[in-house]
Amino acid sequence: MNRSITTRIMLLMGVSFVLSAFADNHNVEGTTQDQLCRLVITNNGTQMISFLNAADVRLYNNYRNIYCKPQVGFEGGSLLKTADHYGAKDVFDKLVQSIKVEDIFWEHPVDDNIRNTKIIAYKN
């Protein structure tokens, strides 16, 4: 009898842990995306971090859900692509430190022949 109660408690804790992990990975609202893109374009890294904290957006889990819309001379894309296009070095540095390594290469995968590909190691 005690084993079955212990097993149920452990199962319940496991399910709640998994659900909490999924809850953290959610779609970012359009207005939030637009504001983030504006902050990236203006190269305002400090304000971007404050905005992310206030909006409770975790780039580590939600980076791929954020898309900056096309504008004149820019085809649209991720926050890193936007920062690179507009020369927003401060924001670019903060983004690289805030996202997963896989997300850095998500838009532009590394070549199959990695021996002939230069990769600049940026993250510590």
Phi and psi, residue 58, nearest 5°: -105, 110
Chain segment 63-101, per-residue pLDDT in tens: 888 999 999 999 999 999 999 999 999 999 999 888 888
Quick one: pLDDT band at residue 4, thresholds 50, 70, 90?
A: confident
> Quick one: 91 exposed, middle or buried, by C-beta within 10 A (0-12, 13-18, 19+)?
buried
Q: What is the model's pTM?
A: 0.66
Query: d(Cα 104, Cα 80) in Å, to the nearest integer?
Result: 8
